[in-house]
A = this chain, B = another copy of it.
């Protein structure tokens, strides 16, 4: 069973809209090696897992899988912010937004030569479940052979490929909004890479100096370095509300990346930051309410809410 808290797993830095960067990030969301894929792959591997003796392995996969849902939320929101208000992109400061189409205006004409016109035509300046070339995410991506060693090997390769692609995206844009999320995911992918590599070490493999893949020097990527200096590449959260996860039996000891750190899995979750709701975009008819409908919405907002009876979760971290 899954729960949610209205916080993003990491902060998204503010910057100008950047539809080209947004489209590159789509690979990290809906691409073959993006977050929707890892999320779904680990969910299926967890549901179909065989062999009670392997619970620590199942719990490792399940915990990383739960984190991936928050990564989908993070990168999806990032893409949304990069697109939001982009008709004013490139310093075009006159604001055509308030009166969409007024007198035959064309506030959305920038859409015609962007990476994916669907960002404007279909998704109202929001994220899409597609990759950076516009291919919809497909269930055929999910790998779950049922063979534990193969599943671990695939997951290691999957995380490393995701990290490789994000390093390439990093080199495509210096938009701060894009980079704050990319850098975070590069580091978390390495943490997951470490997790699966360690699981294979527990089955006898000695990686020697092969890891991490790709071989990157964090120093080249200042935004990444800040996070590895904090050791985020060697930490795994459980995201488990009842402390039943045994992932920590695997995620411990010397990092397979041989960066001098030890793996630790002694926290439930990162702190995160509060999430917010985006502004109206009239030129997209989104949310597209007129005065009458808005008044009705206001009315429902004034209704007294019932007290919710809770089992999980104190209020503290959300303040």
Name the B residues within 8 Å of A284 (CB-CB). 50, 146, 168
Contacts of A5 in B (CB 8 A): 1, 3, 240-242, 244, 312
User: How near does chain B come to A85, taking the closest CB pair, in angstroms?
Assistant: 11
Whether B293 and A209, one on each chain, are in contact in the complex, defined by CB atoms closer than 8 angstroms, is yes
Residues of B within 8 A of A171 (CB): 100-101, 105-109, 283
What is the bound-complex CA distance between A116 and B246, given in angstroms?
34
Q: Does A44 contact B (CB under 8 A)?
A: yes
Give me 8 A-to-B residue pairs in the complex whose CB atoms sit less than 8 angstroms apart, sorted by A's number.
A1-B270, A3-B240, A4-B62, A23-B117, A52-B276, A103-B220, A153-B156, A269-B311
Could you tell me if A306 and B122 are in contact, using CB atoms closer than 8 angstroms?
A: no
Q: Given contacts A112-B172, A283-B171, is CB(A147)–CB(B214) below 8 Å? A: yes
CB distance from A158 to the nearest CB of B (A): 9
B207:A205 contact, CB within 8 angstroms = yes
Complex-state Cα separation, A307 to B122, whole angstroms: 40
Q: Indicate whether A277 reaches chain B with its CB closer than 8 angstroms.
A: yes
Q: Is A232 an interface residue (CB 8 A)?
A: no
Contact with B along A118-162 (1 / 0, CB 8 A): 101111111111111111111110101111111001101100110
Cβ contacts A36-73/B at 8 Å (1 or 0 each): 10001001100111111111111000110010011011
* Complex Cα spacing A202 to B53, Å: 33
CA–CA, A239 to B241, complex, Å?
12
A13 to B: closest C-beta gap in Å: 13
Give A25 Cβ to nearest chain B Cβ, in Å: 10
Give the shortest distance, in Å, between A234 (CB) and chain B (any CB).
13
Evaluate contact between A164 and B285: CB separation under 8 angstroms. Answer: yes
Contacts of A40 in B (CB 8 A): 36, 129
Given the interface pairs A50-B124, A109-B171, A126-B146, the reply to whether A30 lies near B206 with Cβ below 8 Å is no
Q: Which residues in window 209-240 of A have CB below 8 A to B?
A: 209-210, 213-216, 220-223, 238-240
Q: Does the CB pair A286–B241 fall under 8 Å?
A: no
**What chain B residues lie within 8 Å of A181 (beta carbons)?**
none
Name the residue in A20, A66, A135 with the highest tally of chain B Cβ atoms < 10 Å from its Cβ: A135
A15 to chain B, nearest CB (A): 14
In-complex Cβ contact of A140 among B32, B73, B142, B240 (8 A): B32
**Which A292-319 residues have a C-beta within 8 angstroms of B?**
292-294, 296-301, 303, 305-318
Which of A109, A145, A239, A283 counts the most B-chain CB atoms under 10 A from its CB? A145
Determine which residue in A5, A109, A120, A266 has the highest number of CB atoms from chain B within 10 A of its CB, and name it.
A5
Interchain nearest-CB distance for A229 vs B (Å): 16
Contacts of A187 in B (CB 8 A): none
Bound complex: CA of A69 vs CA of B89, how far in Å? Answer: 36
A6 at the interface (CB under 8 A from B): yes
Which chain B positions have C-beta within 8 A of A280?
A: 50-51
Q: Indicate if A88 sits at the interface (CB-CB under 8 A).
A: no
A90 to B: closest C-beta gap in Å = 13
A50: contacting residue among B116, B245, B278, CB under 8 A? B278
Give the contacting residue for A172; candidates B31, B111, B115, B312; CB below 8 A: B111
